[in-house]
Chain A
Amino acid sequence: MDLEFIISLIVQIVMIGVIAVALMTAFAAMVMVERKLLGRFTLRYGPNRVGKYGSLQIIADMFKLFFKEEVIPGHVERTVYLMAPGLALVPALMAFAVVPIAGAPFTLPFQIMGTPITINPWIANVNVGVLYILAIGSLGTYGVILGGWSSNNKYSLLGGLRTSAQMLSYELPMGLAMLSAILIVGSMQLTNIVEFQASYLGGFFWLILVQPVAFIVFYICALAEAGRSPFDLPETENELIAGFSTEYGGMKFGLFFAAEYVHMIVVSFIMATVFLGGWSGPFAQQAPFLGIGYLLIKVAFILFTMIWVRASIPRVRFDKLMKFCWKFLLPVSIANAAATALVLAVLFF
């Protein structure tokens, strides 16, 4: 093994650590921002006692979760019970790996042992990036269903089944919405998808312009996948006793909580990358750091709309949730994909 390979390996591992820490920090910030925004939507201030404008509230909450007694109920399937929160969180973090956060690799201003160090703006640039996202997204279901099953509690099991049924159903229209986008780009690699969007119409050929229906379907499915309101049947804090996480407390509950928020953030990144042009924007090719800014602005906007939706729309009933997915979203997304394919075939072949 030569030196260059070892150094690139170390750089890669450091990058993975940095991204994971950044996502967990984003989760903490997101909880804070969501509570503040929901407060403003309902004519309240939200938390504003701890720190300036309540900015340290999340640290206080985290301390509380960490220092709670680790209660493991006697009737649970111990190994699986302890594994489930991690199984929920890790796939949510992993999906971020293929998202390109900028246009070009960064070169660090110093050298280590005579080797210049370049940092790629992605962790993995796999050529089946979209498939990878869908596959990893499905893995998140395991955490939920295993958490519900290992709790050895009827209500948790029912909650887990309910949640996994929801997540599996909404994956189908999500994949078909992605398919419509892929058909236009002709590649599943996320870097190619962004470059395609950046190279036409002066860098503003965002796929939302040609695939608005696919974007809306993807947005709805993203809400359902991340367990966000109005599809927050997984938690249903107020009427269905928190579903699969009933038997969890302390930081184990915190991990489920983190998984939901990380899922939401990562899915926003994917949405911004596939439909809103990712890092592309004016001068983003020349200055890669600008690209990160553009991407973050787009993601922040999507996250804001998610909170806005939560503040506006009441939770749907479970049978209507399934009916909406199978009888409306799925036919619409199939029709959209078919129409896209037909138009492309007529235009280009």
Chain B
Amino acid sequence: MIKEVVTSSTEIARAMGVTIKYFFTKPVTHQFPDEPVEVYPRFRGRHVLKRHENGLERCIGCALCAAACPTDCIYVEAAENTDDERYSPGERYAKVYTINMLRCIFCGYCAEACPTEAVVLEHDFALAEYDRWDAIYPKERLLEPHDASKVVVVRDDEVFVNVSRWGKK
């Protein structure tokens, strides 16, 4: 019995030692709205429709993103560019381009499918809305570059993996 008392007492003392060690450690909690969250450069957040440097939209309304989307959350309606109303350099542009953020799973297939690199998943992840209809983003909102510098900071310590070496010793 004495052996049992000694062993269990030392076990309790060890447990207390572990907890007191962590008591003096800095908490790992991320104070999210007060402190920005650090994300890696390839983090996939909200979509942004990119523009050319001269201000024209990159999107040509081909709807390949909508075809690639596994959840059907993208809706594209194309229209012809005219010389008076020119939105993109090619023949056609996206008249309607909506993404339902409630359905989107942020897989990034749309960005992979895009031939002109018009749709890109950037780093904004704070997408909560008070009204669920606001979660359907129209083209005007997607064209805005996201300003999430208050909540998102991009890390620069990304470890790049050499894909060609996968599966080899």
Chain A residues with CB under 8 Å of chain B are 37, 39-45, 308-309, 311-313, 328
Contact = CB atoms under 8 A, between A and B. Distances in A.
B16 A41 contact: no
Given A312-B18, A313-B15, 12 more contacts: A39-B27, A40-B22, A41-B22, A43-B28, A44-B29, A45-B31, A311-B19, A311-B23, A312-B12, A312-B19, A313-B12, A328-B1
Contacts of B22: 40-43
A236 to B, nearest CB: 20
Contacts of B27: 39-40, 43-45
B25 interface: yes
Contacts of B18: 312
Contact of A309 (B1, B16, B25, B28): B16
A40 B31 contact: no
Pick the 5 closest A-B CB pairs, nearest first: A312-B19, A312-B15, A312-B16, A311-B19, A43-B28
A121 B70 CA distance: 75
Contacts of B128: none
26 contacts: A37-B23, A39-B27, A40-B23, A40-B27, A41-B19, A41-B22, A41-B23, A42-B22, A43-B25, A43-B27, A43-B28, A43-B29, A44-B27, A44-B28, A44-B29, A45-B27, A45-B29, A45-B31, A308-B19, A308-B20, A308-B23, A311-B23, A312-B18, A313-B12, A313-B16, A328-B1
Contacts of B19: 41, 308, 311-312
Contacts of A39: 27
A294 B25 CA distance: 29
Interface in B14-69: 15-16, 18-20, 22-23, 25, 27-29, 31
Of B19, B22, B27, the most chain A CB neighbours within 10 A belong to B19
Contacts of A41: 19, 22-23
Contacts of A328: 1
A33 to B, nearest CB: 13
B73 to A, nearest CB: 34
A43 B1 CA distance: 36
Contacts of A308: 16, 19-20, 23
Interface string B130-156: 000000000000000000000000000
A161 B27 CA distance: 40
A154 B48 CA distance: 58
A309 B17 CA distance: 11
A264 to B, nearest CB: 18
Nearest to B31: A45
A220 to B, nearest CB: 11
Contacts of B16: 308-309, 312-313
A155 B35 CA distance: 45
A349 B20 CA distance: 46
A39 B25 CA distance: 11
Nearest to A39: B27
A44 B27 CA distance: 5
A39 B28 CA distance: 11
Interface string B61-99: 000000000000000000000000000000000000000
Contacts of B29: 43-45
B90 to A, nearest CB: 51
A39 B29 CA distance: 10
A308 B12 CA distance: 11
A39 B16 CA distance: 15
B30 to A, nearest CB: 10
A309 B18 CA distance: 11
Contacts of A40: 22-23, 27
Nearest to B1: A328
Nearest to A324: B8
B23 to A, nearest CB: 5
Contacts of A312: 12, 15-16, 18-19
A39 B15 CA distance: 17
